[in-house]
Amino acid sequence: MAEIANLPDTEVHEHRHRLLEGMAHAVAAKGYPDTTIADIVREASVSRRTFYEHFSTKAECLIALYEAASHNSLRVLREAIDTEHEWETQIESALTAYLTCMAQNPVLMRTLFIEILGLGAEGLQVRRRMNQEIADFMLGVVNGANAGHKRAAPLSPGMAMAVVGGINELVLEYIEQDRVGKLPDLVAPASQLVRAVTGSK
């Protein structure tokens, strides 16, 4: 790690970014079980030594990719929020931005929704952690001070997670049907799901 500490921050960031992209392309082409570190570094156009300066294993690299992509999706959700509108409109705007963003990154979709589960308990853990962050975001929008009106009963954490799980299943179905480019079509049913769970018309 001494060598990496001496590199300019921009170069370190670039190498890590290229490795994450290399992982995404390699896994999309071969699936996680058959992907090797040699595949990743070839796709990233970096050396094996550079890989080990950033990651100990290919599993660690996949988890880093999953976390980076999930945090980017969460950023897209947050940036789509306009607190001048009621929460129903905020949620629909956020879902539109979220699903459109995913539709523009088809290489990542199978990795994020299917291949991460190949890591077993470790993959499930990181998936649940990221889903929790999205559920917490939803709770903040629906129950927050800027929701637009007082709710008789606030959305519960359990129901927020159920909504996240339901939307994930809708997305997974589209991935399995090779319809990633059509993900924005899910805005309407996903919004309907949120409204049903919250008792909103």
CATH code of the domain containing 132: 1.10.357.10
Looking at 56, 77, 98, the residue that finishes a domain is 56
pLDDT band at 145 (very low <50, low <70, confident <90, very high): low
Residues 79 and 167 in one domain: yes
- Shared domain for 138 and 156, answered yes or no, is yes
Domain with 173 in it: 64-198
Residues 183 and 108 in one domain: yes
Q: How far apart are CA 100 and CA 103, in angstroms?
A: 5
CA angle 173, 175, 177 (to 5 degrees): 70
Distance in angstroms (rounded) separating the CA atoms of residues 135 and 155: 10
pLDDT computed for residue 96 by the predictor = 95
What is the total residue count of the chain? Answer: 201
Kindly give the residue spans of alpha helices, DSSP state H, lying in 80-151.
87-103, 106-113, 121-143
Looking at residue 5, its pLDDT comes to: 35
Examine the fold and report which residue of 37, 56, 75 is the final residue of a domain before the chain moves on: 56
**pLDDT digit string, tens, across residues 96-118:** 999 999 998 887 888 888 888 88
Q: Are 138 and 95 in contact (CB under 8 A)?
A: no
Same-domain check for residues 172 and 190: yes
Confidence of residue 161 (pLDDT cuts 50, 70, 90): very high
Chain mean pLDDT for the chain? 86
- Tokens coding 98: 């979220």
Q: For 132-142, what is the mean pLDDT?
A: 90
Contact criterion met (CB below 8 Å) for 142 and 86: no
Total-model pTM:
0.83
Cα separation, 40 vs 47, in Å, equals 10
Tens of pLDDT, residue by residue over 10-40, are 555 899 999 999 999 999 888 899 999 999 9
Q: Which stretch of 16-30, 45-59, 84-98, 140-154 has the lowest confidence by average pLDDT?
A: 140-154
pLDDT of amino acid 192: 92
Q: Which residues contact 162 (CB under 8 A, 6 or more apart)?
A: 197
Q: Are residues 92 and 167 in the same domain?
A: yes
- The first and second tokens of residue 197, run together, are 């769970």
User: Residues 95, 133: one domain?
Assistant: yes
Query: Which candidate, 144, 52, 21, places its Cα nearest to that of 94?
Result: 144
As a whole number of Å, the end-to-end CA separation of the chain is 56
pLDDT band at 163 (very low <50, low <70, confident <90, very high): very high
Residues 6+ apart with CB under 8 A from 180: 102, 103, 106, 109, 174
Q: What is the pLDDT of residues 52-76, one digit of tens each?
A: 999 999 999 999 999 998 898 889 9
CATH of the domain at 29: 1.10.10.60
Co-location of 51 and 10 in the same domain? yes
Number of domains in the chain: 2
Of 56, 75, 93, the one marking the end of a domain is 56
Which residue from 201, 164, 183, 186 is spatially nearest to 86, judged by alpha carbons? Answer: 201
